[in-house]
């Protein structure tokens, strides 16, 4: 991929936002590769404005640190929440998993084939069952059991490891533990979960059994950011598959695993490519 910088920002909507940002880039010789914009009106009035602008890194006469420094006054003027990332810096993904390995298998296959161009410094699990598979890939495996008696200590160790390996994002690849509120608060919009349900329907455990009992005709999966409210975080990506009365619970689980893998991979890629902008309980995803 061509070396690029990506600016993502949101701010109160007003006239001239695109012109102000594009003029700044052009004044410094910046070559825009891709740009996306969205105006989110609030009850018919001016709401919030979202943008993603990707530019050639070598078209600018200065490096990323100076780009941030020069852009800061404009961001302050426009009251922006913003960041600029460098495509040359590979993001570090720490994967958490329990016993079901299908999402982990898929992520490691994509990582090994360079489809996901990331670093995976370690995998953390509350069970030891997947150690051999992970270590076969040359990735360190940490077994941190979680029980009612040691939950605070266990998640303190998860946080310690995440900090030690300089993790950028934590991915819950069917990690069947509730993340404590203090850990959610420590990493807002940096913990991604795959829930085996088309949220907000069938939250919590055994959603396929809940769906079967309700006789639904569609089942799905949801990739979302983790917050202190269980399964209520901002949604990144979703998908569904049609089922009918002849399908058993086991069939639903089998179909669902296929959806979970693809939805998690897409949602993670959107996050890694800086295509997700979050505000409150909603996201804007520039595909």
**Segments in 115-166 forming alpha helices (H):** 131-136, 151-164
Instruction: State how far the alpha carbon of 116 is from the alpha carbons of 7, 84, 156, 158, 282, in Å.
Output: 21, 20, 28, 23, 25
User: DSSP for 204-215?
Assistant: SS-HHHHHHHHT
* Element spanning 218, H or E: strand 218-225
Q: Which two tokens stand for residue 246?
A: 């002849």
Residue tagged active-site, from 149, 231, 244, 250 = 231
**Nearest-CA neighbor of 92 among 122, 137, 135?**
122
* Element spanning 72, H or E: helix 64-77
User: Which residues are 49's β-sheet partners?
Assistant: 11, 39
274 is catalytic: no
Helices 64-77 and 17-27 pack at an angle, to 10 degrees, of: 150
User: Which residues are 52's β-sheet partners?
Assistant: 8, 36
Non-local (6+) Cβ contacts of 147 within 8 A are: 154
What is the CA angle 146-162-131, rounded to 5?
55
What number of other Cβ atoms are within 10 A of residue 44's Cβ?
A: 6
Residue located via tokens 């012109």: 19
Active site residues: 231
């Amino acid at each position: 991929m061509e070396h690029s910088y990506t600016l993502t920002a949101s701010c109160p909507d007003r006239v001239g936002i695109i012109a102000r940002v594009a003029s700044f880039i052009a004044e410094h010789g910046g070559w825009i590769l891709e740009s996306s914009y969205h105006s989110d009106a609030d009850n018919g009035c001016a709401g919030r404005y979202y943008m993603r602008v990707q530019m050639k890194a070598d078209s600018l006469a200065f490096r990323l640190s100076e780009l941030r420094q020069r852009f800061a006054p404009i961001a302050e003027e426009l009251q922006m929440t913003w960041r600029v990332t460098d495509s040359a810096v590979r993001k570090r993904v720490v994967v958490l998993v329990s016993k079901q390995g299908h999402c982990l298998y898929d992520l490691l296959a994509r990582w090994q084939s360079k489809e996901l161009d990331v670093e995976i410094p370690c995998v953390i699990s509350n069970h030891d069952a997947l150690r051999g598979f992970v270590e076969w890939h040359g990735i360190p495996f940490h077994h941190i059991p979680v029980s009612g008696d040691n939950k605070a200590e266990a998640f303190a160790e998860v946080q310690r490891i995440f900090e030690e390996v300089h993790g950028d994002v934590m991915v819950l690849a069917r990690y069947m533990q509730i993340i404590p509120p203090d850990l959610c608060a420590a990493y807002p919009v940096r913990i991604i979960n795959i829930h085996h349900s088309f949220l907000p329907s069938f939250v919590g455990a055994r959603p396929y059994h809940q769906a079967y009992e309700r006789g639904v005709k569609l089942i799905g999966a949801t990739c979302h950011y983790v917050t202190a409210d269980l399964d209520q975080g901002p949604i990144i990506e979703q998908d569904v598959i049609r089922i009918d009365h002849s399908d058993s619970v086991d069939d639903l689980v089998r179909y669902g695993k296929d959806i979970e893998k693809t939805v998690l991979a897409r949602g993670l890629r959107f996050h890694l490519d800086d295509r997700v902008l979050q505000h409150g309980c909603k996201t804007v995803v520039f595909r």
